[in-house]
Amino acid sequence: MRDAGPQKRAVTHDVTNTARAQLLHEIAASFRLGASAFVPCLEGRMNSVGDRVACPFCCHGRIRIDMYAAAGHHAPDFFSDDNKRQAGGMTAVHAFVFPGQGSQAVGMGQALHDAFPAARAVFQEVDDALGQHLSTLMFTGDAAELTRTENAQPALMAVSIATLRALEHEGGFRLADKAALVAGHSLGEYSALAATGAFGLAETARLLRLRGQAMQRAVPEGIGGMAALIGVDPDQARAICEAAAVVPVDDGAEPAREVIELANDNGGGQIVVSGAIGAVERAIAIAKERGVKRAVLLPVSAPFHCSLMKPAADAMGEALERANIAEPVVPVVANVTAAKMRTPAEIRDLLVRQVTGSVRWRESVMAMAGMGVTSVVELGAGRVLAGLVRRIDSSLATASAGTPDEIEALLKTF
């Protein structure tokens, strides 16, 4: 097992006004940007990777290291050998992402459990926290039971964190050194927060168990539903929802409406809508009438990420008030804002809003790319998010790790 090494010190930029002006002019001209975009970095106010990612000067991934030398100062540690991808002198800027429900499958995590003691410890801690042999259900259990949201949510989180722990213990990997940003899809946001130290592992497992139970209780089975619309943009999907919300009534009767809202904007023309089952079925019919490429009812037990989940949001609000939340060591891009969240108060508020709010995954990926990310690595079960990322922005490099072979391959790239 390799030592992760000492914490890297922040690097500030002590340059003369003349050198600063010259450097800003060269870089701004190269990217057709205003020089003022780079001033905060050159003034030395960017003191961590989490701060520097907001400045394209430090994180764009296309800025040449020799530009720093031309101005008479050293490149920041973000351009260290640990973070450098030797391809034409470019620097890879990594975001790590964590999958959500739908990626679960019986057998997930078993190879990790068998290969890595650190992964076994994760599964045992989750089992102990829940008072259930969840790992047995994951490895050899019934698929329908695993798919129940109260089981799938902590199970997927456990696989993601087991993957991360294996990377840490087998390869000396430290997320704080490698990641500029992290994000997760729906429940994956909890995995991202656990990975960055905002939540402890046992507390994350208990929160996700409660989240799954509260979501299932919020709407009786059969009352709500979700549908995937393929080949639409958000405006088209909203128009379909607006039409589908209207309940057909007899002439002269008072118009009625049902809830139907955008639940996920996954990118690549894939949008999921959620709400009352009647409205969802009407949305499918309307989408087909309007020439949408594909519209299908999803096999889910509740209408997640819509206003019908308000009781679940209230339950999570109470639980999160009691939860111990720390500031994450890497900024987390939130589902509902597609922007960074850092403080415990922000995290608490946005996780509550996430229960009823839309997962803005397309915008989150675009935001990460806009903040300089050039590579997205998915940790956990499946490769769903890596595929979505490629459809959103084909210029982003992608990788997935959730098995021993994938972990070994990933470690060779860092």
Residue 33, token pair as written in the block? 């940007």
Answer yes or no: 103 catalytic. no
Other C-beta atoms lying within 10 Å of the C-beta of residue 136: 12
The CA distances from residue 7 to 1, 10, 200, in Å, are 18, 9, 21
The CA distances from residue 55 to 44, 92, 179, 337, 372, in Å, are 11, 15, 15, 19, 8
Measure the CA–CA gap between 1 and 249, rounded to whole angstroms. 68
How many Cα atoms sit within 13 Å of 75 on the Cβ side? 18
Cα Rg of the chain (Å, integer): 23
From 73, 135, 305, 375, active-site residue: 305
Residue 149, token pair as written in the block? 């949201």
Answer yes or no: 60 catalytic. no
Non-local (6+) Cβ contacts of 52 within 8 A are: 41, 46, 58, 59, 76, 78, 180
From 186, 191, 274, 400, active-site residue: 186
Cα torsion for 354, 356, 358, 361, to the nearest 10°? 30
Contact 161, 194 (CB under 8 A): yes
Measure the CA–CA gap between 347 and 119, rounded to whole angstroms. 26
Residue 201, token pair as written in the block? 């592992």
**Residues carrying an active site annotation:** 186, 305
